[in-house]
Amino acid sequence: MADGTPLVVAGLPSASGTITLAIPSAARPGDVLVHVPGTSGDKLSNAFPFDPSAEPCPAPVVYGTAKTTSQGGIPSLYTAGRPRLQTNDFAILTDGGIADAQGIVFSGATSGSMPFQGGTLWIARPLRREMRFRFDPFGGAYVPIPVTPAMIGTTRCYQLWFQDTGDAFGVGLSNAVQVTFCP
């Protein structure tokens, strides 16, 4: 509500962790929290920023197939957070990489599909080197992507290139993810 009183919507069914509702006309920008009925306050979710007037932000799209590593891993990308300036909590993650290997996150404005270093380059040129990363001892990586005002309204495709000394080409490649950035 405009005076700060929480707007409560009760009795919503959920399926597979998803809650669907029509946004009440009295809803205003603020935080959305979910409470499990019949429980104490310790069953309240984290707060998620919400603005009913904001345009929806498309979900990132994972595409392509990763190159299998020399150790048999498949470094498939997935994402965490949201590609929004408002939350600035977006990250690209993977597992199935080479423990402690170094790599580079690179991006391009559009997707592509071209043979490259024994795998596939899933991003059309020109490419931009974004940042370096290192896989953890289990072959996982967490790469935060800071969202800046200049990124709003743009789409970028991301892929990982990394060291794989046991590979004939000496490198590994992930699949890719296409991301549209929002306010």
- Residue finishing a domain among 53, 71, 93: 53
| % pLDDT > 70, the chain | 86
- Range of 28's domain? 1-53
In this structure, the dihedral spanned by the alpha carbons of residues 8, 9, 11 and 12, taken in order and rounded to 10 degrees, is: -140
pTM, to two decimals: 0.73
Minimal CA–CA distance to 127: which of 115, 141, 109, 114? 109
- CATH classification at residue 166: 2.60.40
Q: What is the pLDDT of residues 19-31, one digit of tens each?
A: 777 777 777 777 6
Helix (H, G, I), strand (E, B) or coil at 115: strand
Three-point CA angle 172, 174, 176, nearest 5°: 150
User: What's the token pair of residue 182?
Assistant: 């929002």
User: What's the token pair of residue 133?
Assistant: 């990363």
Q: How confident is the model at residue 34 (pLDDT cuts 50, 70, 90)?
A: confident
pLDDT at 145 over 90: yes
Q: How many beta carbons lie within 10 A of that of residue 52, not counting itself?
A: 12
Whether residues 109 and 160 fall in one domain = yes
pLDDT at 10 over 90: no
The lowest-confidence range among 47-56, 89-98, 114-123, 169-178 is 47-56
Q: Quick one: pLDDT at residue 60?
A: 96
The number of distinct structural domains making up the chain is 2
Whether residues 109 and 136 fall in one domain = yes
H-state helical runs in 7-151:
none
Distance from C-alpha of 28 to C-alpha of 52, rounded to nearest angstrom: 6
User: What's the token pair of residue 23?
Assistant: 């946004």
